[in-house]
A = this chain, B = another copy of it.
Amino acid sequence: METKIYSKTKEVIIGDDQPTILIGERINPTGRSKLTKALEGGDYSLVLSEAESQVQAGADILDVNIGIAGADEAALLAEAIKQISATIDIPICIDTNNFGALAAALKAYQGKALINSVSGKQNDLREVLPLAKDHNACVIGLCMDDDGIPEDPDRRARIAGKIIDHAVALGFSEQDIIIDCMAMAIGAKPEAAKNTIKTIKLIKSEFGSLTTMGASNISFGLPDRKSLNGAFLTIAIFNGMNCPIVDVARMRQIALSADLLMGKDPYAGRYTTAYRERKS
């Protein structure tokens, strides 16, 4: 399966026969007080420099989350989308669970956006999917619903199926619903990684859908997060992960290695080019 998202000037193909697409995770004020303060003051310079450095590090798509408690998220997010789009050319993944902010961001974005996210909650299915369809966007479907995030991969796959069914009924193409297979903290749940990998396999075998996940969640609360995130990302890619949301500067080399090992980079062209670029 394969889909495309694009900005005004750049197209990204996400597909099973394509190299892994990396969605940069770092434009997100959660736990980052400097970024929060700057945004509260209407200062987008930090957001723009973060966007630029993620592009430099090799991000294919930029996740943009501007959720700050008490702030006017719709205004902040729309403005961030505008300013980022004027500065960098890669497509944006609009990351919000605020319906008004999503509507404002989609209005501000020029191109085919990726939306992060719709869940299997009745309210999301009713509100977010039609709005996404109106804007011809791709949507990340989370394997969670009104009962929370199930651990069981079969239950996760059932929620994914429900989201896909709703979307197709609204006129979406199947490939425009990208399933988030849910990575959880392994420090709390020893089966967390296995459950994500099983979910990826199930999603591929049952629906053939494209897949994503917030890869860094796996190492929450543990030391040496880079090693663990890298190992997890590698296994996930090998099992069908198409466009993970990651800290690109830390994970690009891992993704290049995994693509090479999967036979997606014959004679190591991308791998060695990236190595030379890092060294120069």
Contacts and interface: CB of A to CB of B under 8 A. Distances in A.
Contact of A222 (B227, B235, B238, B268): B268
A187 B186 CA distance: 34
A246 to B, nearest CB: 14
Given A230-B230, A267-B190, A268-B186, A235 B261 contact: yes
A156 to B, nearest CB: 17
A231 B235 CA distance: 8
Given A194-B261, A222-B271, A231-B261, 8 more contacts: A193-B263, A222-B268, A222-B272, A223-B272, A228-B261, A230-B234, A230-B257, A231-B258
A255 B235 CA distance: 13
A97 to B, nearest CB: 28
A257 B263 CA distance: 24
Nearest to A196: B261
Contact of A224 (B186, B224, B253): B253
Copy number in this complex?
2
A118 B20 CA distance: 39
A228 B260 contact: yes
Interface in A40-88: none
Interface string A189-205: 01101100100000000
A254 interface: yes
Given A235-B238, A238-B235, A254-B227, A263 B222 contact: no
Contact of A257 (B187, B190, B228, B260): B228
A254 B234 CA distance: 11
